Amino acid sequence: MSDIQTDRPTAALALADGSVFVGTGSGATGIATGELCFNTAMTGHQEILADPSYAGQVVCFTFPHVGNVGANPEDEEATSAPAKKAAVGMVSRVEITPPANYRAEQAFEEWMRARGIVSISGIDTRALTRRIREHGMPMCAIAYDPSGAIDIEALKAAAAGATSMEGRELAADVARESGGDWTEGAWSWDEGFAEGPKDGPRVVVLDYGVKANILRLLVDAGARVAVVPGKTSAEDVLKMSPDGVVVSNGPGDPAATGEYALPTLKGLIEAGTPMLGICLGHQMLALAVGGKTIKMAQGHHGANHPVKNHETGQVEIVSMNHGFAVDGASLPEGAIETHVSLFDGTNCGFKLADKPVQAVQHHPEASPGPQDSFGVFKGFVGSLGSKTPA
């Protein structure tokens, strides 16, 4: 925490409706605006705030204690420099605690400060979460000033004037600007990150804010992985002779990103390319085949979401992070629903009957189950043929 002592609150959170919460600040100083959501995960706070899918959002953690695991570079989820633009703010019940984990290389507050994340603690997060559940995710403004000199009226105005997530394109801000190979596999205790295969199916990942662990698990499943910007054309992707294409996760409104992404996705589908969509990629593949997406009231953000897999009959405990959803009723004939949320019945996956296209809304690279959904990668890569390496 700051060495500056003041009797005044050092942070404030204002909602678009004029509500104000005051508390103790940490992380980066200044003001940040974004959409306020709540996340139910009990751990993985670094991975959550570093996930590019949270770009433009302020995350309220329902679990009261944050910081005891600290931060380390091995748990970063951003895969390119622009992807440092992830969550802009954090809300917690208890003040951030010092790290008490053998892997910690940095205090959590220091890590947030380096990433420009504004934080407030001392908030009744249960009341704030209930508010979001009842009224939806509001736009907000969060401020931290160690001296306590916070202009509340200006903060309320910033919250009221913040740009809504609907119609907002954010993927281009967090995606890489150039392509390259990815050879790093999953991390294991005392061994570090595994090395990628020298042969195997060639998988091209369209980057709209891809998480590092998606790439690692593709490598673990036996794929030779190349990552390209999301704005890459279908023609240029096909020139790479991929055995399969993954459409990554990312932030913002899928319909807005789809304005430049859908021609690529439609071209790859028409070419018969095996495809896997994850989160935003799931939503955009649905749009590409004629479906629709809708804005959710409170979204799904957490590591304890039950999803029914219709193909296996199993219930998987998965990680979720999305404020938009595929309208299952809008999917065209030939699109088969494969997964559904057991919380609210929303669509969480589909596949095409006549094309090698599949997609899931949840994050199969996360480990809440702990590995209930890793089979998504193994099944996809295992279904691919392998072209001779160039």
CATH 3.40.50.880 residue spans of the chain:
172-382
d(CA 286, CA 179): 25
State the amino acid at position 260 in one-letter form.
Y
What is the pLDDT at residue 74?
A: 86
37, 279, 322, 362: which one is catalytic? 279
Write out pLDDT tens, residues 238-284: 999 999 999 999 999 999 999 999 999 999 999 999 999 999 999 99
282, 300, 322, 363: which one is catalytic? 363
279 carries an active-site annotation: yes
CATH 3.50.30.20 residue spans of the chain:
11-160
d(CA 105, CA 119): 20
259 carries an active-site annotation: no
Q: How far is CA 136 from the centre of its chain?
A: 19
Domain 11-160: assigned CATH number: 3.50.30.20
As a whole-number percent, the residues of the chain with pLDDT over 90 amount to 86
Domain 172-382: assigned CATH number: 3.40.50.880
**pLDDT category of residue 7 using cuts at 50, 70 and 90:** low
Is the pLDDT reported for residue 5 higher than 60?
A: no
Write out pLDDT tens, residues 289-347: 999 999 999 999 999 899 999 999 999 999 999 999 999 999 999 999 999 999 999 99
**What does the longest C-alpha to C-alpha distance in the chain come to?**
68
Write out pLDDT tens, residues 126-142: 999 999 999 999 999 99
Q: Bigger pLDDT: 367 or 56?
A: 56
Cβ distance 346 to 340 under 8 Å? yes
Is the pLDDT reported for residue 83 higher than 50?
A: no
What is the pLDDT at residue 3?
A: 40
CA quadruple 227, 231, 237, 243: dihedral positive or negative? positive
Q: What letter would DSSP give residue 224?
A: E
State the amino acid at position 90 in one-letter form.
M
What is the pLDDT at residue 390?
A: 44
Write out pLDDT tens, residues 104-132: 999 999 999 999 999 999 999 999 999 99
35, 76, 95, 365: which one is catalytic? 365
d(CA 52, CA 82): 9
Going from the C-alpha of 91 to that of each of 46, 132, 145, the distances in angstroms are 13, 13, 15
The owner of tokens 């060495």 is: 3
Write out pLDDT tens, residues 137-168: 999 999 999 999 999 999 999 999 999 999 99
Please give the structure tokens belonging to residue 311.
Answer: 């193909």
**pLDDT category of residue 8 using cuts at 50, 70 and 90:** confident
What is the pLDDT at residue 84?
A: 63
Strands (E), the chain: 11-15, 20-27, 30-39, 57-61, 89-92, 118-121, 139-144, 180-182, 184-188, 192-195, 202-207, 224-229, 244-247, 275-278, 293-309, 315-326, 335-341, 347-352, 357-360
Residue-wise burial string across 112-145, b where 16 or more C-beta atoms lie within 10 A, e elsewhere? bbebbbbbbbbbebeebbebbeeebbbbbbbbbb
